[in-house]
Amino acid sequence: MSHQKGRARVACKLCNLRRVKCDRTIDNACSNCQLAGTACELINSRRGRYPRTASRRVDECTHISTAGNRQSPVDLERLHSADLLESPRTELTESSESGRRDSHTRYVSPSLTELAVQHDGVAMPGRVVYMGDSANFKYVLHEVGDPFQTSQRHRFWGDNLQRSMLERLGQTTQSTIQKIREDDQTHLQTTGVFQTPSKDISEAFIDSFWKYSYPVFPLFDWAPFYADYNAGSISPLLLNAVFMVAVFHCPESVLHDAGFSSRYLASLTFYRRAKALYDSSSESDGVTIIQATILMSNWWGGPMEQKDTWYWLGIAASLAQSLGMHRSKSYVILPEPSRTVWRRIWWVLYINDIHHAAVYGRPPHIHPKFCNIKALGEDDFAGCSSVNSVSSENGVSQESKSYLIHLVDLIAKVGDCLVTKLASTDGNEIADRTSYNRLLQWERTLSDRFRATPAQISLERGFWPALIQVLYCEYQIVFYRLLSTNPVTVGLESPIFQAAGKITRLLEDLLISGTLYNAPFIMSVIVQPPTYGNVLTQFTVYPRFLLLPWFVS
């Protein structure tokens, strides 16, 4: 049937949104818009000329945040201004330099259509902004087009959407919201979340984090992180999370110089600051939030603590999956340096989530079957080298990199065992036994250096192989008991007894070598009084061991 003479070739926005027939002509509005009393605007059809290829996205997208790459942290002055009300999730506002553009790109969740990716060179370039469930946004942008395409207020699509929503509220409501935010900011300043220790003490904390914690938490490239720290532009949320982990291992003299009477008080102080910043939603960079919450999962204040390791791992896992870190297609839009950072973040999170789920017997926050990220390799640690201003002692070594690479492979076997057991409703012994056998055979994949530990363990040789052997034996015990259909007996020939004996010997070797207190937090759930009471009593002579920071006076 031929079209009516003068009929528009595309529908108007209202009819397109309502999915009804549009009778718009070239000169006159359609009947639906006339009836609704709205302007009849034609959609910008992209039919036949919309390039749905990965290469298009790669060409359009260039940079992404890795460790809070920004020109400034939270802008305190603007937190008091009306601009915060206009855009509470971001700090981007109209600037006198609005005409200046650069090559940086500010990202939202990779699942969001590219129409929402806007060039932004004003304040905080290269960020991943969490926008919640983006499915509806993606549909509207695809079907209707960008309603803010001609807006001159903000370059970023999400800022325009946020302001448009708030403009629909009454003036009284807007004023009340602004007052609430000002009160929150006053509370943050009173809490001291923006205070930092002196330069010397801060350097000591950073050095401690580099030596003892960064090898197992390489959540960002070190050089950009350290440059932002020196420039004072590091995210306060991330910095306090780093300090919280750093005080687990730093010398006691540094803690005393910082004014802390105990290691527990120091870690509690920085934990509360990081938590306050997280609760205030002052940080809008999704990657930075994930990095910080993973570090905050090292906190355990006591048996009655509700926001403990499991709580923070859940937050980090939820946000990471909302940004698409668990799916390889999300990495297509990223440059290679950012891909390696994302992979390290994802696998560190995955290791800790599956580990704690296994030892506590809980369903993991991350389902292994829903993830398809390739395993870590040597190339993924290219950005983990030290800089001149930080001691090159310890830190990331060839052995520590191999430890993480092997642990990723081990934790994949652990995840299979866990999911097989939890998903089995009728006791599928064959599936359980198959997954457990894969776990037992994992040790054969290790290099000779990691299969056996030297007689004299040091941080340079034997420390990381000893840790992974302890974890491997622990997983054998966990799943032997979990998958057993009969009552577990502990005799001299029992696999449980042999694995527990090996763990005890390794812990004693680590204790004698003086390296036990360097062990990461993931080891704390292994050393428990009921199982290794005789070893635990010896830990008191090593008060820096992070398992017992709350006992140190």
Residue 4 CB partners (closer than 8 Å, separation 6+): 23, 25
* Helix (H) or strand (E) segment spanning residue 136: helix 135-143
- Single out the residue of 359, 350, 356, 357 nearest to residue 475, CA to CA: 359
HSE of 142, CA atoms in CB hemisphere, 13 A: 13
Residue 520 CB partners (closer than 8 Å, separation 6+): 213, 216, 217, 467, 546
Estimate the crossing angle of helix 529-536 against helix 495-513, to 10 degrees: 30
The pLDDT value recorded for residue 551 is: 30
Q: What is the pLDDT of residues 197-232, one digit of tens each?
A: 999 999 999 999 999 999 999 999 999 999 999 998
Query: Encoding tokens for residue 84?
Result: 């915060």
**Confidence band for 514, pLDDT divided at 50, 70 and 90:** confident
Query: Nearest 5°: phi and psi at 482?
Result: -70, -35
Across the beta sheet with 105-108, the strand order is 118-119, 105-108, 128-129
As a whole number of angstroms, the distance between CA 328 and CA 228 comes to 29
Look at residue 112 and tell me whether its pLDDT is greater than 50: no
Q: Work out the angle at residue 37's Cα, subtended by the Cα atoms of residues 14 and 42, and round it to the nearest 5 degrees.
A: 35
CB 73 within 8 A of CB 235: yes
- Single out the residue of 220, 343, 349, 195 nearest to residue 277, CA to CA: 195
Question: Residues 341-362: what's their mean pLDDT?
Answer: 93
As a whole number of angstroms, the distance between CA 455 and CA 460 comes to 13
**Confidence band for 167, pLDDT divided at 50, 70 and 90:** confident
Q: What is the pLDDT of residues 54-91, one digit of tens each?
A: 444 444 444 444 444 443 334 433 333 334 333 333 33
Query: Encoding tokens for residue 466?
Result: 């000893």
HSE of 51, CA atoms in CB hemisphere, 13 A: 8
Query: Encoding tokens for residue 180?
Result: 């609430």
- Single out the residue of 88, 57, 480 nearest to residue 281, CA to CA: 88
CB 501 within 8 A of CB 478: no
Residue 185 CB partners (closer than 8 Å, separation 6+): 76, 79, 80, 280
Look at residue 350 and tell me whether its pLDDT is greater than 90: yes
Q: What is the pLDDT of residues 226-254, one digit of tens each?
A: 999 999 889 999 999 999 999 999 999 99
- Single out the residue of 445, 448, 451 nearest to residue 473, CA to CA: 451
As a whole number of angstroms, the distance between CA 140 and CA 43 comes to 12
Domain-by-domain residue ranges, the chain? Answer: 1-45, 61-377
The pLDDT value recorded for residue 138 is: 65
As a whole number of angstroms, the distance between CA 34 and CA 203 comes to 67
Q: How far is CA 221 from CA 110, 215, 309, in A?
A: 21, 12, 24
- Single out the residue of 34, 272, 337, 74 nearest to residue 181, CA to CA: 74
What one-letter code names the amino acid at 529?
Answer: P
As a whole number of angstroms, the distance between CA 267 and CA 547 comes to 13
The pLDDT value recorded for residue 254 is: 94
CB 196 within 8 A of CB 239: yes
* Helix (H) or strand (E) segment spanning residue 119: strand 118-119
Look at residue 516 and tell me whether its pLDDT is greater than 60: yes
Look at residue 3 and tell me whether its pLDDT is greater than 90: no
- Single out the residue of 295, 283, 325 nearest to residue 79, CA to CA: 283
As a whole number of angstroms, the distance between CA 61 and CA 22 comes to 36
Percent of residues, the chain, with pLDDT higher than 90: 29
Q: What is the pLDDT of residues 433-476, one digit of tens each?
A: 788 888 888 888 888 888 888 888 888 888 999 999 999 999 98
CB 517 within 8 A of CB 546: yes
Percent of residues, the chain, with pLDDT higher than 70: 69
Query: Nearest 5°: phi and psi at 519?
Result: -65, 145
- Single out the residue of 183, 285, 197, 199 nearest to residue 244, CA to CA: 197
Look at residue 118 and tell me whether its pLDDT is greater than 50: no
Q: Which CATH class is domain 1-45?
A: few secondary structures
Question: Residues 153-164: what's their mean pLDDT?
Answer: 67
Query: Encoding tokens for residue 480?
Result: 């032997």
Q: How far is CA 248 from CA 62, 196, 267, 336, 443, in A?
A: 37, 17, 7, 33, 31
CB 297 within 8 A of CB 316: yes
Question: Residues 144-160: what's their mean pLDDT?
Answer: 65
Tell me how long the chain is: 553
* Helix (H) or strand (E) segment spanning residue 398: helix 398-423
**SS3 track for 72-89:** CCCCHHHHCCHHHHHCCC
CB 470 within 8 A of CB 462: no
As a whole number of angstroms, the distance between CA 296 and CA 299 comes to 6
SS3 state at 7: strand
Q: Is the pTM of this model over 0.75?
A: no
- Is 196 buried (19+), middle (13-18) or exposed (0-12) by CB count in 10 A? middle
